[in-house]
Amino acid sequence: MGAMADPVTHPGRSEIRIEAVLQALADPIRLRFVRELAKLGCEGAPCGSIELPVTKSTRTHHLRILREAGVIHVRPEGTSRISTLRRDDLDALYPGLLDSILAAAH
């Protein structure tokens, strides 16, 4: 039931829109999450391993916005979920965007 109520879908590369990406990144909590994810590289991070100063439901909300915008990929692994940054897609679509934002996000 849970899985059906909240399917983990992702936009394809061609479906990613710059407005949604900017909106997703225009939040200090989401920017912090993306910055931590970028540090971890391509292996991804188990859900919860990146600490955020928010409640679990707020965290879920932020991760959904990032996923639906095409900024992160989330895959189930056992009972957990692993998040990865969609760096290849973002770098292909918007060369320099992610790097400039990550460099600025302090």
Residues that bind its own copies (CB under 8 A): 18-20, 22-23, 25-28, 31, 93-97, 99-101, 103-105
* Helix residue ranges per DSSP H, 1-106: 2-5, 18-25, 28-40, 56-69, 87-93, 97-104
Q: Which is nearer to its own copies, 65 or 82 (CB)?
A: 65
Judged by beta carbon, residue 40 or residue 93, the one nearer its own copies is 93
Taking the least distance from each CB to its own copies, the nearer of 45 and 71 is: 71
Q: How far apart are CA 70 and CA 73, in angstroms?
A: 7
What is the DSSP-derived secondary structure letter of residue 21? H
Minimum CB separation from its own copies for residue 21, in Å?
8
